[in-house]
Amino acid sequence: MSCPNLNSLIVQHLFKNGRFHSVWKSGRPVVTNRHSFSSEAKEIVIPKYIPRGPTDILEALASTVKRDPTGPHYKFHDDPYLIPASSHAKRTYALAQEAGRKAASWIKQEHADLFNQRNAEPFIEAFSPVEKLTETTPMTEDLLKKYIRTSQVANAIHVYGKLDSSEISSATKQSFLEFISFYNEEDQLSEELIEERWFRSGVKGMRDQVKSTWKSNGLAERIFSGLDTITPEAYHALICGMVKHGQAVGAWEHYNQMLADGFQPDLMTYNSILKISGIIREDGEYIITLINDILTSMAHAGIKPDVRSLNAALQSISRMPITRVAREKASRLMSDFKSIGVQPSLGTYTSLLKIFCRDKGPRSNILIDIVRRIEIEMPPIQDVEDVTFFSEAMKNCNYHLDDVQLAKRLHSLLSSSQNQVFIGDSYKESVYYRSFLLLLSRAEGPEAFMEMYRHLVPHIYTPEQNVFENVIKSISSSSAIQYVPELWSDARYFELSERDSVLEALLEALTCGSGPDPTIVVDKNDVDPVLATARAIMSHVNQVIKTAEEKDRTISLRWTGSMLGNLMKVFLQYGDLDSADEVMMKVNQLKNQLSSYFPLATLNIFVEKCIERQNSATALMAIDYAAEMGYENVTTMAQRISEQLKLDEKQQQKLSSILSNAPTPSETS
């Protein structure tokens, strides 16, 4: 039985049993349920077709997966022994994994004869080994075009050098000029090497962006000069390449020569010249005049500026030395571009922040308006400068406005899955989270701060040493001593436990408490976390110094008087007198090597405890150190020891010797 007949029989059976009845609506029958609760039938309307891209379903699925702050990034192995915590380890692990791909690519390239299977249909050329140039390889214009199309700079330059320039067509010469101007005659990292590109761009971000890397008198300039007929397109390629690689003066000279030759620049060339307007000269009035002239020329040529034109002009204005003039010009420019329908991008807002929120300039609340706008509608990526917005905005929240609520709104925007691409490279990511964490450490209470700290650290962000020290000091100022053991564990995890300043901050934070809470009953075998942390730090420092001495290496970590003083204070607060005695012996052993003084107040408390325990040996160590350091009340301390402790003859002689060498009050005053 055919399918249409079968469907007909099913429908007849349903109507015969009274389960459905037919209702005519809009000239066609609609089958409805007789027992439905609705009084009238609803028409089934098929929605209009919505065109979808090839990756829309994947993007929809990806949007349902949120970042897990408790686990490592997916690029790392989810194994406790292979999860990096420090910034150095993250970089090393990520690049090491990518180095494996590079090694595989090298093997594929060096032993191309082993990879001769072409089973894929259609064949994907990018997956096959790159063809090597040999002495027998025929040098043709088609081969040059192939290397231009596949972005093989070195091979393209080699082939071009072997060809006779007169035999190359003008179109190919133009393509080759654009090619080497864009890449500055250098092969680029493969797009598959995501991590290396990400970290390398981060290193560049820390340097001066105006630094010129253009190859002066290189192949691009020689090809341009050797053209039989110099066209506007040739000028466009050379000028844009020079601007891209920081050669502002050369680009400006060729731009003027282009105008003198009667050629009309295109939109991209105008945008490039707008971008370097603030570099050619630093005079504010000249920058404004030059920007106005360029925009006027574009209007006369019938070329409508775009958002990149706006961003380039604002970048030049941000270099103007006078804040008031720069603000006025930026406001007029924003109004003019709005009147022609050009909407700002995130890169536009980045330049506005640099103009209105300078370090030594007056306070501006422009970021509040910007955040309010992008909360309504987030502009798509339109310019390379768009990825600098969030790091610049968070810096503004931290250093300029000191507004933690605005910073939280900004972080909420970035945290959405669609906006993660705006974080930028490794350097911008570090600037963003550093500013955010520093602001939170100042503005938030310890509980709220530690909640966000645990959300970000260590899998999303690993704090640098100065940031980590600020976190410890923030916890210390709030007397939230219960979080210090966790921070000590993080210091070990982040490879910061051998930094003197970090240990100084941790030990000072441990002294903020007043000892164990007497209202809390604990098992006698349980060790208070604060006391356990102090013991762990002492053992760690001793072990680091011992290992360095055994291996005859430079000792990177040394005891200081303040570190030992804070340790003893904690031990005395928690009644660990044996550890306090060990600290006193360490002080007596290193008294001529300590870079700072042992606190006198802690020394007095220790002497009191020695008297209570009738421990004359360590008490004499304390008096000896106080006398050698020239503390004023040495005589008073010595007299109390002599009166309240039972000293043998040898100890009495030692005490007398200390008193005879101790400075008198008149000598110390």
Q: What is the pLDDT of residue 21?
A: 46
Percent of the residues in the chain that have a pLDDT greater than 70, as a whole number:
89
531 plus 625 within the same structural domain: no
550 plus 506 within the same structural domain: yes
Q: Is the predicted pLDDT of residue 185 greater than 70, yes or no?
A: yes
Q: What is the pLDDT of residue 36?
A: 47
568 plus 536 within the same structural domain: yes
Tokens 């393209």, residue?
A: 156
Per-chain mean pLDDT for the chain = 85
Sign (positive or negative) of CA dihedral 11, 12, 18, 22:
positive
Q: Is the predicted pLDDT of residue 138 greater than 90, yes or no?
A: no
Is the residue at 346 inside a domain? no
Q: Which of 14-18, 178-182, 334-338 has the lowest mean pLDDT?
A: 14-18
**HSE-CB for 606 with a 13 A CA cutoff:** 35
Q: Is the predicted pLDDT of residue 455 greater than 60, yes or no?
A: yes
Q: Is the predicted pLDDT of residue 373 greater than 70, yes or no?
A: yes
Q: Is the Cβ–Cβ distance between 417 and 455 less than 8 Å?
A: no
Residues 6+ apart with CB under 8 A from 352: 314, 330, 334, 366, 370
Residues 6+ apart with CB under 8 A from 234: 174, 177, 224, 227
Q: Which of 15-29, 198-212, 389-403 has the highest mean pLDDT?
A: 389-403
Instruction: Write down which residue in 558, 590, 622 finishes a domain.
Output: 590
567 plus 525 within the same structural domain: yes
Structural element, H or E, at residue 278:
helix 277-280
| Structural domain count, the chain | 3
Q: Which of 90-94, 357-361, 416-420, 551-555 has the lowest mean pLDDT?
A: 416-420
Is the residue at 368 inside a domain? no
Residues 6+ apart with CB under 8 A from 75: 94, 97, 195
Q: Is the Cβ–Cβ distance between 311 and 348 less than 8 Å?
A: yes
Q: What is the pTM of this model?
A: 0.83
Is the residue at 250 inside a domain? no
Is the residue at 623 inside a domain? yes
pLDDT in tens, 215-257: 988 999 999 998 888 999 999 999 999 999 999 999 999 999 9
Q: pLDDT-derived band of residue 24, with 50, 70 and 90 as boundaries? A: very low
Q: Is 57 exposed, middle or buried (0-12, 13-18, 19+ CB in 10 A)?
A: exposed
581 plus 621 within the same structural domain: no
Rounded Cα distance, 511 and 574, in Å = 11
624 plus 549 within the same structural domain: no
Rounded Cα distance, 62 and 466, in Å = 36
Q: Is the Cβ–Cβ distance between 497 and 556 less than 8 Å?
A: no
Q: Is the predicted pLDDT of residue 26 greater than 50, yes or no?
A: no
Is the residue at 262 inside a domain? no
639 plus 541 within the same structural domain: no
572 plus 652 within the same structural domain: no
Is the residue at 615 inside a domain? yes
Rounded Cα distance, 152 and 179, in Å = 10
582 plus 606 within the same structural domain: no
**HSE-CB for 512 with a 13 A CA cutoff:** 19
Interstrand relation of 28-33 and 20-25 (parallel, antiparallel or unpaired) = antiparallel
Q: What is the pLDDT of residue 615?
A: 86
* Nearest residue to 582 (alpha-carbon basis) of 567, 598, 592: 567
Classify 115 as helix, strand or coil. Answer: coil
pLDDT in tens, 61-109: 887 877 777 788 878 887 888 888 888 888 888 888 888 888 988 898 8
Q: Is 413 exposed, middle or buried (0-12, 13-18, 19+ CB in 10 A)?
A: middle
pLDDT (average), residues 269-280: 93
pLDDT in tens, 463-499: 999 999 999 999 999 989 999 999 999 999 998 999 9
578 plus 661 within the same structural domain: no
Instruction: Write down which residue in 564, 590, 616 finishes a domain.
Output: 590
Q: What is the pLDDT of residue 37?
A: 47
518 plus 537 within the same structural domain: yes
pLDDT (average), residues 114-129: 78
Q: What is the pLDDT of residue 425?
A: 81
**HSE-CB for 537 with a 13 A CA cutoff:** 36
Question: Could you list the residue range(s) of the whole structural domain that residue 27 is in?
Answer: 1-35
pLDDT in tens, 296-319: 999 999 999 999 999 999 999 999
561 plus 612 within the same structural domain: no
Instruction: Write down which residue in 569, 590, 611 finishes a domain.
Output: 590
Is the residue at 465 inside a domain? no
Q: Is 391 exposed, middle or buried (0-12, 13-18, 19+ CB in 10 A)?
A: buried
* Nearest residue to 241 (alpha-carbon basis) of 211, 219, 272: 272
Is the residue at 664 inside a domain? yes
* Nearest residue to 280 (alpha-carbon basis) of 250, 321, 323: 250
Q: pLDDT-derived band of residue 202, with 50, 70 and 90 as boundaries? A: low
Residues 6+ apart with CB under 8 A from 43: 25, 26, 30
Q: Is the Cβ–Cβ distance between 180 and 223 less than 8 Å?
A: yes
Rounded Cα distance, 294 and 559, in Å = 64
User: Angle 267-275/248-260 helices, nearest 10 degrees?
Assistant: 140
Q: What is the pLDDT of residue 240?
A: 95
Q: Is the Cβ–Cβ distance between 410 and 393 less than 8 Å?
A: yes
Rounded Cα distance, 578 and 43, in Å = 87
